[in-house]
Chain A
């Protein structure tokens, strides 16, 4: 007896249109990793929704053969929360940049994490505002000169991973778009995880950030899974999250799963209250089952 196993290919999640990012942009690595993760999990295209905000990386849904919503600056997470609540069966991926997630939309990161909404949030962190052509971002290291800080930034950068852990996120990881295979495994883990997943991705902006380049990161990143880190230990996780950029902005940068925990999800709690029946999906199912009847009325 032969068992037919359907193997999906990353290209099945691609549209015919090529991305419009600059050659060498870190976002290509993220796009590749996301398609690989979805292919490995074999999730049907029509069960995936990619929601984004505003920024170079927020154009990613345009290049995915899935459902997509290109929203408004900073509001990808609330939109994604609405999608997940309405139809919990969908795999909801949220995509945005560090400006989107760690500046104008920071409050949503905190609250989506605390509610443990079951979405996978990928942040392309290039430490600069790329779409507006090179201003200081919330992740820009102190002292770095940008178009808006020719005197060198006087702000300290935000630490998104420590923030996410403190806010209650249950899957917190950092990837590097220069290592898409490793990144794909992190994204895959985030999608499989039940709860809020943040995957911060070091994603060099080759046009507007001449400090944090591929070489800069290659010289600094090391893999947590090869260093005996226990992601289930909250205190260890917090220490790893604080390593970069808080403790030493020019020091070594851990990549991999920093923290992982199990906690009831928001949609899970709602589903429990509603005795397992999602109001929206039950209506969709009814409409589908009534489909032929409706069609008949048009014949």
Chain B
């Protein structure tokens, strides 16, 4: 019944089905939500997003001000200024660009500015790599931004639209970062259903009631906070970020009703009766893990997949619920948390979430796809086999490493 309703809704809202890279899908979403100010600096693999936005402005399809600033530090700073002045603001970057923005990431979240940023992820220097992994995002995970990780071009398009509703929600008022695989998604074509823009604008209306810089009602943003009140600002920021999971569910319910699609904070695949689970994020790792799960099922191993879409705030409850019943799990990380108790950043979060609920499900930390090292379905199938053969907590795997 719901599925039929959703199909009906979709037919009404979809304007056309196009072959788009995820970067272009993001640019289409930015146009659809009618942003006011875009501030960027070129970096591979982000650049084609802003090229497309420039084309939209040139063609009169988007009335937005675009500034090509002199660095990523300036890009996010200009976005901070624009958002502080009340504009709907967008920026995008990758890799070193996100690193260079780092101190401004804290300014944007501390000032509670609803900026949306797209991050086609990329490995970090040194040595130089332009290829994909998630090291850049992982360094930004504790900056107070909401972080969502998309796994398809369609999801990235939908997520940017949802991101403005979440960011501008009165219980949130925080910046949102939307990440996805650089190159593997940013530069590969997928079918994407684009919506009539009046529907998108109806979904993301300008109801932003924030305090903005306005001479008629002057305020100061970011003024000095003494030890008597600094802590309260930071506590409120933590509370607001934790509100994101509930707000996301609320926003997605409305999105599902209007556009016939929803994703949730996490997505499960064949997990209901699974003995062994793979936990992933992003496009390539998730796609390969899905095929590995199918391969295991064909061979009689009850495997399932949990994809984490909302990374910050960390959706502990659905993750714990999904993993509580499995015999063992493996978290596939596409970044290295150097010198940590386990090398996988997501693994550490999952393990902490389970521990906080008093659960000790055996789980292993797997690192793969660093600097876009090829990840094979067989690699992930091998992990499931290992779990089935009794590999448990304490095991660490660096898959795909040359011997």
- A contacts, CB < 8 Å to B: 54, 70, 72-74, 103-104, 106, 129, 131-133, 135-136, 138, 147-151, 155
Contacts and interface: CB of A to CB of B under 8 A. Distances in A.
B139 interface: no
A132 B44 contact: yes
B55 A129 contact: no
Contacts of A132: 42-44, 47
Contact of B47 (A104, A135, A138): A135
Summarize A's interface: helix, strand, loop or mixed: loop
Contacts, number: 52
14 contacts: A72-B126, A73-B96, A103-B70, A103-B71, A104-B70, A132-B44, A147-B54, A148-B42, A148-B47, A148-B50, A148-B54, A148-B68, A150-B54, A155-B68
Contact of A135 (B68, B96, B126): B68
A147 B66 CA distance: 13
Contacts of A149: 54, 68
Q: What interface size band does chain B fall in?
A: 20 to 34
B128 A70 contact: yes
A261 B44 CA distance: 40
Nearest to A103: B70
Residue of B41, B42, B44, B127 ringed by the most chain A CB atoms within 10 A: B42
Contacts of B127: 70
A106 B50 contact: no
B42 to A, nearest CB: 4
A95 to B, nearest CB: 15
Given A74-B71, A104-B70, A133 B58 contact: no
Contacts of A133: 47
A54 B127 CA distance: 12
Contacts of A72: 96, 125-126
A135 B58 contact: no
A129 to B, nearest CB: 5
A70 B43 CA distance: 17
Residue of B47, B50, B96, B127 ringed by the most chain A CB atoms within 10 A: B47
A171 to B, nearest CB: 25
Interface in B8-52: 41-44, 47, 50-51
B57 interface: yes
A151 B55 CA distance: 8
Interface in B120-136: 125-128
Residue of B41, B55, B57, B58 ringed by the most chain A CB atoms within 10 A: B41
B58 A138 contact: no
Contacts of B57: 151
B58 A151 contact: yes
Nearest to A131: B44
A277 B58 CA distance: 60
A112 to B, nearest CB: 17
A54 B47 contact: no
A103 B55 CA distance: 23
A113 B57 CA distance: 39
Given A54-B128, A72-B96, A150 B55 contact: yes
A21 B121 CA distance: 26
B96 A129 contact: no
B230 to A, nearest CB: 29
Interface string B157-173: 00000000000000000
Contacts of B51: 135, 147-148
B70 A106 contact: yes
Contacts of B72: 104
A249 B47 CA distance: 27
Nearest to A99: B42
B58 A150 contact: yes
Given A72-B96, A148-B54, 20 more contacts: A70-B126, A73-B96, A104-B71, A104-B72, A104-B100, A106-B70, A129-B42, A131-B44, A132-B42, A132-B44, A135-B42, A135-B47, A136-B68, A147-B47, A147-B54, A148-B42, A149-B54, A149-B68, A151-B58, A155-B68
A103 B42 CA distance: 11
B54 A151 contact: yes
A27 B49 CA distance: 28
Residue of A54, A70, A104 ringed by the most chain B CB atoms within 10 A: A104
Interface in B52-76: 54-55, 57-58, 68, 70-72
Contacts of B126: 70, 72
A64 to B, nearest CB: 17
B288 to A, nearest CB: 29
Q: When A and B form their complex, which 5 residue pairs have the shortest distance between CB atoms, in order from nearest?
A: A150-B58, A104-B71, A103-B70, A132-B42, A151-B58
Nearest to B51: A147
Contacts of A54: 96, 128
A92 to B, nearest CB: 19
